[in-house]
């Protein structure tokens, strides 16, 4: 008759069970070796050149942004000493380029003459090269003084709109597609400085500030 000990297999104490950890250890060593081989291969790259390229890429300003466009315009404005007559501002509505009275148009006129474009044309050329994802709006503003009876314009609404159209035509000649442009004439309804209650020099100063044309670049 078989005994109980003869039916059950005999289990050895020892080494096989205790040495199972070697399998995981061998896998770890293999993975580490692969990592070191990859690092050795990469080390053959000229790291000085790699770092130089990385530095240039990281510090290179982004193209085709309104921030970059503003920098270009500001540099041209400073170059031509127009800081007091042409100003740029960046906000939620886009980039605004503001031309004060006399830079583009003579008083009561909507003609872009050669003298008016002498300083302003390089600025307009920069704007004409903006990325196609941006639209351009030309906004005319006047002061509160009605146009004279001898004027060819019916009123300040007519004058401010005509100035916007004149800019649109000029920019169209520079290659800007008409579908990217629009015109708005605001007459005296959106003053930069209030003229109510002012007299004398203060009133004239406010009216001068309100006579302007704004080119708005937006997406």
pLDDT digits (tens, 9 = 90+) for 38-63: 666 665 545 444 445 554 544 455 56
**Percentage of the chain surpassing pLDDT 70?**
76
What is the pLDDT at residue 118? 85
For 99, the enclosing helix (H) or strand (E) is: strand 94-100
CATH 3.30.1330.60 assigned to 66-218: yes
**Percentage of the chain surpassing pLDDT 90?**
63
Place of tokens 């004398």: 200
Write phi, then psi, for 100 (nearest 5 degrees): -75, 170
pLDDT at 167 over 80: yes
The two beta strands, 181-185 and 135-141, are: parallel
The whole-angstrom separation of Cα 204 and Cα 199 is: 8
Q: What is the largest CA-CA distance in the chain?
A: 136
Give Cα 94 distance to the centre of its chain: 8
Summary mean pLDDT of the chain:
84
* Banded model confidence at residue 142, pLDDT cuts 50, 70, 90: very high
> Where in the chain are the domains?
15-59, 66-218
80-115 pLDDT, tens per residue? 999 999 999 999 999 999 999 889 998 899 999 787
pLDDT at 211 over 70: yes
What is the pLDDT at residue 133? 95
Yes or no: say if 86 and 97 are a contact pair by the CB < 8 Å rule.
yes
* Banded model confidence at residue 205, pLDDT cuts 50, 70, 90: very high
What is the pLDDT at residue 43? 58
DSSP 179: G
* Banded model confidence at residue 16, pLDDT cuts 50, 70, 90: low
Mean pLDDT of 29-37: 73
CA atoms within 13 A on the CB side of 164: 23
The whole-angstrom separation of Cα 128 and Cα 3 is: 102
Q: Which two tokens stand for residue 111?
A: 């003609």
What is the pLDDT at residue 8? 46
The whole-angstrom separation of Cα 160 and Cα 165 is: 9
């Amino acid at each position: 008759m078989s005994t109980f000990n003869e039916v059950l297999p005999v289990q050895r104490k020892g080494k096989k069970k205790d040495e199972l950890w070697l399998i995981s250890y061998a896998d770890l060593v293999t993975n580490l070796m692969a990592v070191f081989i990859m690092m050795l291969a990469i080390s053959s790259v000229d790291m000085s050149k790699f770092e130089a390229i990385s530095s240039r890429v990281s510090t290179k300003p982004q193209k085709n942004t309104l921030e970059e466009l503003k920098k270009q315009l500001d540099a041209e404005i400073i170059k031509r000493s127009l800081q007091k007559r042409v100003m740029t501002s960046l906000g939620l509505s886009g980039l605004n380029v503001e031309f004060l009275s006399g830079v583009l148009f003579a008083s009561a006129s909507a003609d872009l003459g050669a003298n008016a474009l002498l300083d302003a044309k390089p600025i307009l050329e920069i704007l004409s090269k903006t990325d196609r994802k941006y639209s351009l709006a030309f906004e005319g503003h006047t002061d509160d003084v009605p146009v004279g009876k001898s004027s060819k314009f019916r009123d300040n609404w007519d004058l401010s709109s005509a100035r916007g159209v004149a800019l649109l035509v000029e920019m169209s000649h520079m290659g800007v597609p008409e579908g990217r442009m629009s015109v708005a004439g605001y007459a005296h309804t959106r003053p930069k400085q209030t003229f109510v209650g002012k007299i004398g020099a203060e009133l004239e100063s406010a009216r001068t500030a309100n006579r302007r044309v704004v080119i708005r670049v937006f997406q």
